[in-house]
Chains A and B, each alone.
Chain A
Amino acid sequence: MPIATQFEYVKPADMDEALQVLAMYKEKARPLAGGTDLIVHLKEGFAKPEIVLDVKALKELSGLSLKNGVLRVGALVTFAELLESAAVKKNFPDLWEAAGTVASTGVRNRATLAGNICSAVPSADSAPPLLAHDAVVRLRSQAGERLVSIHEWFTGPKRTALGPDELVVSVEMAVPEKKFGACYMKLSRYDGEDLAQGGVEAAVFTDHNYRVAFCALGPVPARALKTESYLKGKKVTEQTVKQAGELLAGEISPITDIRSSREYRTHMARIMLGRALETAVSRLSGRGPKYGEGNIC
């Protein structure tokens, strides 16, 4: 399908020029990195920019590094690169696991983590691990740099805290001091590429602190704080899983859409939480399925 919208294409070689274009055109300019969402939106007429701003030549946006205990994922880093990173797999195996469930190889070779959170669909697979580890998003505009917590990032379906004159530079998160086991459990209609009907991450730390986050079970991906505080200090048993599931069901607000019904999502959220908790606990103790296995419901 040809793209009906007519736009200019610019690919600045440096950050100043890119920020100047954004400052001038604001919402009328759309940054392009992997393009796996933007090109679809251009074809379907959801996006009608005057300028497509290709940011792939900006070196400030590239690079995946682990320094002083902080993982920095440059805005141009693709899901394929995340999956190939030994540092990601070792320090954030849950992010690695979630990245592996995003679309398919041919899409992951271009799609970026930053693009995933900028598209901000409720089903963003990368969001639960970012939420679980309190990631921050580094933004840049002509006014300077600012950091936004991932907890304040998602402001509504397909809406974020990103200003129209800002670019995402990187997504960063600190390696937890305590050892943890985690699991991103995804509900798919089939084993292969599919958008999540629901996703639940559970992470358990050696001191019995828990993190629970979800996607596709509400208007925005979020943490389930009541569920977490109930679990704090407890062991994962049949009884605690049941009670935690009840609490999670109260914290989510799923809708009925083409992929499944509200009732089914609510029912499966409880089951996914149970499986994610049990898997996280077994992984923490060195047993359990490898990351990337046994995490599709």
Chain B
Amino acid sequence: MKKHPISFKLNGERVSIEVEPSDVLIDVLRDRLGIKSPKVGCDRGDCGTCTIIMDGRTVRSCLALAVEADGAELVTLEGANTSRKWTRKLQEKFHRKNAFQCGFCAPGIILSATELLEKNPKAGKHEIKEAIAGNLCRCTGYEPIVEAIEETVKGK
């Protein structure tokens, strides 16, 4: 099949590569560009471990063709902690509270929480739960995760 030269911004840097039409974005990020924070979990959009920020919104990188990223601005956890206001604060809070266990869901949850707080810096418990409803965690039961986001909001 005809390869497509594409170009996009990834964590602030310009990337130009050739992709097959059937290449999935997460596979290109992980296997060709060495970006390992998005994880392949369910691989069908349910679990949220593949979350990245595309043109300012969180998306499932397992549900996008790589070719669709042409011209886009992509931010993954690797870049978000220097470019997004809330990401580092969230990371520090999660770290201090030991709010994750295995950490597999962590990049997705931190990016989902980043998007939420960018839109609504005063988000309450209901909004927090809604914002991370698409990010599954199999270790914690979510309580410390929700608390960590709440405490980040309160600036504790």
Contacts and interface: CB of A to CB of B under 8 A. Distances in A.
**Looking at chain A's contact residues, is the secondary structure mostly helix, strand, loop, or mixed?**
loop
Interface of A: 1-9, 32, 35-36, 39-40, 42-43, 52, 54, 56, 80, 103-107, 109-110, 191-193
Interface of B: 1-2, 4, 21-24, 27, 40, 43-46, 48, 51, 57-60, 62-65, 67-68, 108, 112, 115-116, 129-131, 133-135
Contacts of A32: 65, 68
A43 B43 contact: yes
A8 B67 CA distance: 11
A43 B63 CA distance: 10
Given A2-B24, A9-B65, A105-B134, A193 B57 contact: no
Contact of B134 (A1, A8, A39, A106): A106
Contact of A105 (B2, B27, B40, B115): B115
A109 B58 contact: yes
Contacts of A42: 22
A1 B43 contact: yes
Contacts of B115: 105
Nearest to B108: A106
A8 B44 CA distance: 22
B94 to A, nearest CB: 19
A106 B1 CA distance: 30
A105 B133 CA distance: 8
**Looking at chain B's contact residues, is the secondary structure mostly helix, strand, loop, or mixed?**
mixed
A234 B43 CA distance: 49
B60 A3 contact: no
Contacts of A105: 58, 112, 115-116, 130-131, 133-134
Contacts of B67: 9, 54
Contact of A35 (B46, B63, B129, B133): B63
A104 B48 contact: yes
B64 A193 contact: no
Given A7-B1, A8-B2, A9-B65, A106 B21 contact: no
B63 A8 contact: no
Contacts of B24: 1-3, 39, 43
Q: 4 closest A-B pairs (Cβ-Cβ)?
A: A104-B134, A9-B21, A192-B133, A3-B22
Contacts of A80: 57
Contacts of A4: 22
Given A105-B130, A106-B48, A106-B60, 4 more contacts: A2-B23, A39-B63, A107-B60, A107-B134
Given A2-B27, A106-B134, A192-B133, A7 B21 contact: yes
Contact of B45 (A6, A7, A103): A103
B80 to A, nearest CB: 14
A56 B21 CA distance: 16
B109 to A, nearest CB: 11
Contact of A7 (B22, B43, B130, B131): B22
Contacts of B57: 80, 109-110
